[in-house]
Amino acid sequence: MDLRKLKTLIDLVSESNISELEITEADGKVRIVKTAPVAAVAAPVYAAAPVAAPVAAVAAAPVVAAVAEAPAFTGHVVKSPMVGTFYRASNPGAKPLVDVGQQVKEGQAVCIIEAMKIMNEIDSDKAGTISKVLVENGQAVEYGQPLFIIE
pLDDT of residue 61: 47
pLDDT for 73-131, tens place per residue? 788 999 999 999 999 998 888 899 999 999 999 999 999 999 988 899 999 999 999 99
Count CB atoms within 10 A of the CB of residue 150.
21
Look at residue 5 in the predicted model and tell me its pLDDT.
76
Q: Do 96 and 89 contact (CB within 8 A), yes or no?
A: yes
Sign of the Cα torsion 84, 90, 95, 100 reads: negative
**Structure confidence at residue 63 (pLDDT):** 46
Average pLDDT rounded to a whole number, residues 6-26: 77
C-alpha to C-alpha distances, 53 to 38, 47, 141, nearest whole angstrom:
20, 10, 35
Most distant CA atoms of the chain, gap in Å: 61
Q: How far is CA 28 from CA 9, 24, 113, 151, in A?
A: 14, 6, 22, 37
User: Which of 9-13, 51-55, 86-90, 115-119 has the weakest average pLDDT?
Assistant: 51-55
Q: What is the reported pTM?
A: 0.53
The string of DSSP letters for 23-49 reads EEETTEEEEEE----HHHHHHHHHS-H
Q: What confidence tier does 15 reach under pLDDT thresholds 50, 70, 90? A: confident
Domains in the chain (CATH in brackets) are 3-33 (no CATH), 38-69 (no CATH), 76-150 (2.40.50.100)
Asked if residues 120 and 94 have their Cβ atoms less than 8 Å apart, the reply is no
